[in-house]
């Protein structure tokens, strides 16, 4: 545990701006990761609707996937927002993937 005396003895106050900057970056990065994880979680369990093509048992076409298409649009917005953040630097490769 750190006391005020320990902080003063180790001149931690001199680094308060740097510590605040690091804390802000970490907090914002955590928010971005949370957004990314929610997108990943949705798409990991989502299923496309398919149906038989005419009367054939060996051919399929896409069914009504309007909800998934809307969610895809939402996902694109979220990912673009994440990538445009100034705090994305460390997680950019994961977001781009």
Q: What is the pLDDT of residues 27-38, one digit of tens each?
A: 999 999 999 999
Residue 53 lies in a domain: yes
Long-range contacts at 19-25 (CB < 8 A, ≥ 24 apart): 25/87
Residue 68: CB atoms within 10 A of its CB come to 17
Token pair of 81 as six digits? 């927002």
Residue 22 lies in a domain: no
The distance in angstroms from the start CA to the end CA of the chain is 40
Residue 80 lies in a domain: yes
The domain total for the chain is 1
Residue 71 lies in a domain: yes
pLDDT single digits (tens) 61-91: 998 899 999 999 999 999 999 999 999 999 9
Residue 60 lies in a domain: yes
Q: Residue 45 above 90 pLDDT?
A: yes
Residue 17 lies in a domain: no
pLDDT given for residue 70 in this prediction: 94
Residue 56 lies in a domain: yes
- Its domain, for residue 44, covers 29-96
DSSP class of residue 62 equals: E
Residue 41 lies in a domain: yes
pTM here is 0.77
């Amino acid at each position: 545990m750190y006391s005020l005396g320990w902080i003063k003895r180790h001149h931690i106050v001199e680094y308060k701006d740097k510590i605040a900057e690091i804390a802000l970056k970490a907090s914002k990065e955590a928010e971005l990761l949370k957004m990314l994880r929610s997108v990943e979680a949705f798409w990991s369990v989502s299923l496309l609707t398919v149906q038989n093509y005419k009367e054939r048992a060996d051919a399929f076409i896409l069914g009504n996937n309007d909800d998934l298409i809307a969610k895809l649009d939402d996902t694109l917005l979220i990912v673009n927002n994440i990538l445009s953040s100034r705090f994305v630097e460390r997680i950019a490769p994961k977001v781009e993937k």
